[in-house]
Chain A
Amino acid sequence: MRERSILVLCVAVLALWLAGAAQAAVEAIDDRGVRVQVRQPPQRIVSLMPSLTETVCALGACARLVGVDDYSNWPSSVNALPHVGGLEDARVESIVALRPDLVLVPTSSRVLPRLQALGLPVLALEPRTLSDVRRVLQVLGPVLEARDPEEVWQAISREVQVAAQKLPRALRGTRVYVEVGSTPYAASEGSFIGEVLLRLGAENIVPARLGPFPKLNPEFVVRADPQVIILARGDAPGLRARPGWQGIEALRSGRVCALDEAQVDMLMRAGPRLGEAAHLLVECLQGRLAAGTSGR
């Protein structure tokens, strides 16, 4: 009798322990180096960065998002979700009201310490490079328990490869200038955009040692004489008015690739759509998108 009760006790303890193990949080190490315990799998996710929103969706957990930042707009299903503010002015109250069991924030976000102080499970991730994109996938994969992150990464990588093969041999080594702000701020070789361009075989006129998105002396661009300029559509008409720029080869040959808002979003987010962005860049290099802009 006594032995049996001990056995029952043992089984009970074992069962409890197993249950505990199953319930135990998955541990993830985020970009701050902080170990974050996440009760798994999170069912109410708030994302405060477009690239993170897209990563969650690429991992097949889009339906578990309950709120996103004001700039997240892809896939279109996230437009129906509550928007909880921008990158610098996220509304803490709205986020808390959504009762999230996981909040994804960029490392540089100012709401991060506030959310943490309120006891929300916060995972700080900020993809800045291609390897970051992969790492973010690898961190989020086990936490979300959704699609295999490596599979998603391989798909992105494959797309970039396919795009690279699409680029005619003659266009390899094309000198490219990617402008992300009209001041001018450029995307250098060290940015994720630069990394994709490098993989495509194009030559970025802005070297990596200047930092990922340096503010340049405009004269630098004139001297580097890029063959293709890629920028947002709104800034394109002003290029010729910049002193000395009308002599740049890209402007003389009309190879200015002016991207619309949706295309800029795709290119400027270090997320799962970088494969598509690579195709976009190839079209830019081939001059297919330039024609559409002259009408403006």
Chain B
Amino acid sequence: MTEAPRAPAGLAAWLLAASAGLLALGVAVGSMGWEPLLDETGAGLTILWEIRLPRTLGAWTAGALLGLAGAAAQGLFRNPLADPYLLGSATGAALGVALLLVLLGAAPAAGTAWVTSLGLTGAAFAGAMAAVVLTLALARGVQHTLRLLLAGVIVGMVFGALASLVIFLAPELLRSMQSFLLGTTGFLGWAGAGVLAGVLAACAGVAVASSRALDALALGETTAASLGVPLARVRLALVGVIALATGAAVAHVGLVAFIGLMAPHLVRALVKPTHAWLLPLSALAGGVLLLGADVLARWLLAPRELPVGVVTAVLGGAYLLALMQRRPR
């Protein structure tokens, strides 16, 4: 890493290049490890098109959603530790999915892939929204950071416990929920990737439109209000973005840890951008992180597959630890 501060545009170019590289890698790494296949039979093409490409794009998009949600949460709550997990929205989304699975029966395949994907996203969004609203209600607003984080932890625990209770009452869900709790990108198809892309476009649009308000919020609420920021509306919009982005990501790839926390930190460690840059850069970084972790998860033990959440947790934990060690100096 060079010491000179990079321009945000430079970092964006760098992240885009990394995304493209990982995309190529993601398409080249299959069930046998490294095999950029295009075999003679034409079956290879089907596998590339039907399996690897949607899976790779879906993993990137889910990561981007988590990165975006993390950056939005950190800006909105003016807290560098706010992320979809700490606000309880990820576990809320998991509870929503668990409840939907109980209603539908263990295999979420009653309809087409599109219906399933949208249904899971909706359930996860409802769960995430409920969790965030409950967190905000318990914290009595966002003024007290400590209270907000505590409330988020409490709600996260309670919703997590409720999800466990659902699994306990419907043990046939155990296997499908377990994969869900560990995170997996294995069954991402075009339908899932499409829904994720649509959600990302919507969320990124709303978030970037609110970026000036977030910049103003960084100076404190009274200052922001005096600058003419419509606080109530911005908060509502961003809480919706956080819940929707988290819900969509969790519905498709499960509980993937640390991306939402790590992506904005990574960006801020390299550049000092305003929110208009921070939000899209965090999304890019999140995409790169999750896709990178997914490629690793597929590759390391191929054709066995590691749960991708385990890989992100290990990488994320190591990164945050390194960050913590470096800080005092």
CA A243 – CA B52 in complex, angstroms? 9
Specify which chain B residues have a CB less than 8 angstroms from the CB of A219 in the assembled complex.
30-31, 47, 51-52, 303
Please pick, from B110, B184, B189, B303, the residue contacting A243 in the complex, using a CB distance under 8 A.
B189
Specify which chain A residues have a CB less than 8 angstroms from the CB of B55 in the assembled complex.
243
Sampled A-B contacts (26; CB under 8 Å) = A181-B175, A182-B179, A183-B175, A183-B178, A183-B184, A183-B186, A215-B307, A217-B186, A217-B302, A217-B304, A217-B305, A218-B186, A234-B105, A235-B106, A235-B107, A238-B107, A238-B108, A239-B109, A241-B112, A242-B189, A243-B50, A243-B188, A243-B189, A243-B190, A244-B46, A247-B46
Task: Establish whether residues A211 and B304, one from each chain, have CB atoms under 8 Å apart when the complex forms.
Answer: yes
Task: Establish whether residues A222 and B186, one from each chain, have CB atoms under 8 Å apart when the complex forms.
Answer: no
| Interface presence of A74 (CB below 8 A) | no
Please pick, from A182, A217, A239, the residue contacting B303 in the complex, using a CB distance under 8 A.
A217
For window 6-52 of chain B, which residues contact chain A by CB distance below 8 Å?
30-32, 43, 46-47, 50-52
Please pick, from B43, B54, B184, the residue contacting A223 in the complex, using a CB distance under 8 A.
B43
| Interface presence of A42 (CB below 8 A) | no
Q: Decide yes or no: A244 and B47 within 8 Å by CB, A183-B186, A216-B304 being known contacts.
A: yes
Residues of B within 8 A of A (CB): 30-32, 43, 46-47, 50-52, 54-55, 105-110, 112-113, 116, 172, 175-176, 178-179, 184, 186-190, 298, 302-305, 307
| Interface presence of A237 (CB below 8 A) | yes
Question: Across the two chains, which residue of chain A brings its CB closest to B186?
Answer: A218
Specify which chain B residues have a CB less than 8 angstroms from the CB of A222 in the assembled complex.
47, 50-51
Please pick, from B46, B52, B54, B176, the residue contacting A183 in the complex, using a CB distance under 8 A.
B176
For window 215-259 of chain A, which residues contact chain B by CB distance below 8 Å?
215-220, 222-223, 225, 234-244, 247
Interface residues on A, range: 20 to 34
CB distance from B79 to the nearest CB of A (A): 35
Task: Establish whether residues A241 and B109, one from each chain, have CB atoms under 8 Å apart when the complex forms.
Answer: yes
CA A244 – CA B30 in complex, angstroms? 13
Specify which chain B residues have a CB less than 8 angstroms from the CB of A244 in the assembled complex.
46-47, 50-51, 189
Task: Establish whether residues B43 and A243, one from each chain, have CB atoms under 8 Å apart when the complex forms.
Answer: no
CA A219 – CA B26 in complex, angstroms? 13
Q: Decide yes or no: A243 and B51 within 8 Å by CB, A210-B303, A217-B186, A237-B110 being known contacts.
A: yes
Task: Establish whether residues B303 and A220, one from each chain, have CB atoms under 8 Å apart when the complex forms.
Answer: yes
CA A243 – CA B59 in complex, angstroms? 14
Specify which chain A residues have a CB less than 8 angstroms from the CB of B305 in the assembled complex.
215-217
CA A210 – CA B30 in complex, angstroms? 16
Specify which chain A residues have a CB less than 8 angstroms from the CB of B113 in the assembled complex.
241, 243
Given A234-B106, A243-B190, A244-B46, 19 new contacts (CB under 8 A): A182-B176, A184-B186, A210-B304, A215-B304, A217-B303, A219-B31, A219-B51, A222-B47, A225-B43, A234-B105, A234-B107, A235-B106, A238-B108, A239-B109, A241-B112, A241-B113, A243-B55, A243-B188, A247-B50
Specify which chain A residues have a CB less than 8 angstroms from the CB of B303 in the assembled complex.
210, 214, 216-217, 219-220
